[in-house]
């Protein structure tokens, strides 16, 4: 019997790469362009998502986490205005 192959989509590959880097938290604000990544976050249990109230806040949270813990700080925002708001953080 042939082994069944599991194909990962792009979002699952991103989450797997973050897992390999031992990322524990992702700070973010969801939006249309990144909902597939949020689906991948929801399907796993190793990385916790911390919902920010604004994209700029997500950037500050990830930065503060990295500075305080010495670990990788990760933020996720959507494209367009979400990215513009993040850049000003």
pLDDT at 5: 75
pTM, to two decimals: 0.88
Q: Can you give the residue ranges of every domain in the chain? A: 10-87
Report how far residue 76's alpha carbon sits from residue 59's, in angstroms, rounded to the nearest whole number: 8
Domain 10-87 in this protein, CATH class: alpha beta
Q: For position 47, what pLDDT does the model report?
A: 98
Q: 3-state DSSP call for residue 3?
A: coil
For residues 44 and 84, what is the distance between their CA atoms, to the nearest angstrom?
Answer: 29
C-alpha distance across the termini of the chain, in Å: 53
Residues of the chain above pLDDT 70, percent:
98
Mean pLDDT of 57-77: 98
Q: Taking residues 15-28, report their average pLDDT.
A: 97
């Amino acid at each position: 019997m042939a082994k069944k192959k599991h194909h990962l989509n792009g979002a699952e590959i991103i989450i797997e790469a973050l897992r390999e880097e031992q990322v524990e938290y992702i700070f973010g604000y969801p939006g249309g362009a990144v909902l597939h990544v949020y689906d991948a976050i929801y399907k796993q249990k190793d990385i916790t998502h911390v919902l920010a109230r604004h994209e700029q806040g997500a950037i500050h949270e990830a930065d503060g986490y990295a500075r305080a813990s010495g670990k990788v700080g990760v933020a996720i925002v959507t494209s367009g205005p979400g990215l513009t708001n993040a850049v000003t953080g």
